[in-house]
Structure 1
Amino acid sequence: MSTALQHNRTAELTLTQLLDANQGFALLARGTTNHCPMAMIALSKMHASPARLREYFAQWQEKYAIYSDTDVVAIKRENWQHSLGQVEDFPALHRCFGAWIAEQGVAKLLVEVLGQIPFAPASGAFHAAIRLAYGLEVGHHGEIAAALAALVTGHLALPLPQMKDEKELMTAEAALAVLSQQMAGRHYGGPWITTQLRAVALDPDFVRYLPQVTLATTNSGELITELATLAIRLYWQTKNFTSLHMVTGLHAARIVCEHLQREFPAELLTHLLPNLMAPLWSAFAAAYVALGAPALAPLPQIEPDALALDWPALLARAVQSNNDHTIKMSYSCWQEAQHYLPQRQRQPQQQQPRQPDEICAADLYLAAVRRMLPV
């Protein structure tokens, strides 16, 4: 066995062991949510060593971890929907879903949960969806069960666009322009993203002005790519914490939808994907309004030094961070940039500032991570 292969297997085993240990942690942590499993998976995907994974877990356990309540009343499988929006049910529902997966597999539970309740990707400030995506990426049943339990118990439903004539459907960028024109500059109280999103949902103007965009029927990639491009532009423009979660949340949505498209037949996707895409658009729009609905700025000029480091060099820096948002943002930007590399490769490398008409999303993802990480 080669040294590289042995290293990869050791890293995978270490990650699995640490994710198993994380199953004892509560949904929330000290002053935050339980980012630990998401950060560890992102670190692993960015080629962190087994020692680095153990180091990250140890510091999280010491500083932030809260252990989950083990004295809980069991939830019967047929009653799982009663836990919708009941965050105190998370430990019991996590166990219920874990047993369900062990007996019938991941696919059965995914269809049950995503098909029976309205999809709410903004739940837990997008963290439930991110946790689900990462769990699916590494195939960890405990993480998938935890993520689905978090989606249910932390369910944050947002208004959907009112049905309009098909002639009124628009692109997401045009829809943001409408929201900015009508709702720019509004402030929604509370320090937490979920608090702000709930306030947006209660604003009658959000329901009134929320446009309807064209949704996917059998392939989600087009809308997700459109939203993801807008998200990284907003993050570059605002440096806002909410816009960071829009970037990582869209990456998670892509992972989940691509998993569904690989694993499920087309006739099921025809029903399932539109039920996921409409709430995804509403969550994105609500987050945009929560951060102030700023008019989307023209693409910037990017100086050469912002693009000087390549991804391997940036990832080597990212894996040394203990900041969970820096870790996840670096991973999401790296992965999302791959969708635009053919566009970038068609343009010549240069040492002069890259002008707005030469910018593509791959540049923004790279420059955003470069700006985030210390020199």
Structure 2
Amino acid sequence: MSMESAIASTDQRFGLRRSIRLAGPLRLDSGASLTPVEIAYETYGTLNAQGSNAVLICHALTGDQFVASEHPVTGKPGWWTRAVGAGKPIDPERHFIICANVLGSCLGSSGPASIDPATGAPFAMRFPVITIADMVRAQAMLLDHLGVAQLAAVVGGSMGGMQALAWPTLYPERVRAVLAIATTARHSAQNIAFHEVGRQAIMADPRWRGGDYYASGEPPAAGLAVARMAAHITYLSEAGLTEKFGRKLQAREAKTFGFDADFQVESYLRHQGISFVERFDANSYLYITRATDYFDLAEDHGGSLANAFARTQARFCIISFDTDWLYPTTESRNIVHALHAAGRAATFVELSSPFGHDSFLLDAPEMNRVLDGFLRGGA
């Protein structure tokens, strides 16, 4: 039994969100259960009579469900309008497109800012720790509600790619094709280290208050901004930063011999941090980064990545970018080798781009051609 309603998030900066409230329970990897489960989502296009054209798009770490529609907080266009829309590889004229805000986030799905029905107050750090697999199980609950028995494809980049890879391991009969972009099958020590720097920046902010900052209306903005700044560096490439900023000064003729933003790159990072605080919740950042750090697709399959893919018959397309040092091409090759070892059909493409990890979100016509060809190949 489920009901559909508009759910208001606790932090009013994020406004009202259209969500599905499902009775649950959703059993989590931690052993905890979540009841009820709120899932905010967007859809585009129509499910065909055969129920065969559904495409699930999974968003990245701090993304959202507004993949091809205006973001209600920032007013910006959807984050993947380069790939989703009329005449694009993922086209609502051909596909029934679904994108859900992940569990643990702050754009309408259940997360630390949600109200705990047992107390009437926000969960904060009492929200259970979640995993990528838990996010996928929540998405499966949404698909059940929408009447989608099988996905023509699941598509995602970065953390979205982790979800895309997890889908056929958890629901091997429900996925016909998987498109995983700029991603990995497990977080490395370096990945975890960068996230820990960000988490510590948030928790060191006096306004964090152990996660109970909602009632004060004063979130740990400074800590969250620093966390975003540190993470944003990993999304770029050295060549891209050098080409865009070099050592150019910011609106001045000489160094100030102080600690203002003398360099353009400093000003850019500060802007990224400040703007991020306006659209994201600090506790959600803690939970979602922890979920990615826990991600290791082989862990539940005897340490064998090939075993993880043994039960699915899905086709796979794995895409990497040559300047991505967060999830480098070697990580994608490891996935492809495991797929081949499991006897799965897998296409692999490394694309050239100066933009680093974020390439999949930016102008990438070659990526669009690969997406389009792969999706049409399974039609």
Provide TM-score, normalisation by structure 2: 0.26
What TM-score results when the alignment is normalised by the length of structure 1? 0.27
Structure 1 or 2: more strand by fraction: 2
